[in-house]
Amino acid sequence: MSATGGTGMPAAAPGAMGHPTPAVAPDAAGHLMCSARRCRADAAWGVLWNNPALHTPQRRKVWLACDEHRAYLEEYLQVRRFLRGVVPVAELDRLPERDGP
């Protein structure tokens, strides 16, 4: 994996599961919001996943989940065998906030 993890984003330090903890970007107001469709709740969880047909085993992508949508997002990924773990959002690295669009 390159220093950017192949994403153009800085690679994160290994997390509790021995894999890099993905970095997440806050929205324009600096908030981390749930990834569930039409949900604007604050994220409490990072749902870590990868698609083995597309990603290396070390690669972790992250969906953010509020308490209400955590189980739904976990199940969605688990059925597809993409789920790799769930961590509190506080354990995720945050990318610097962007200035402007």
**Secondary structure (DSSP) of 15-59:** -TTSSBPPEE---TTS--B--STT--SBP-EEEEE--TTTS-TT-
pTM: 0.70
How far is residue 26 CA from its own chain's centroid?
12
Lookup: tokens for 19: 């894999």
* Tens-digit pLDDT profile for residues 48-84: 999 999 999 999 999 999 999 999 999 999 999 999 9
Would you say residue 34 has pLDDT above 90?
A: yes
Domain spans in the chain, listed from the N-terminal domain onward = 23-93
| pLDDT attached to residue 24 | 74
Please give the Cα distance from 50 to 47 (Å, whole number): 10
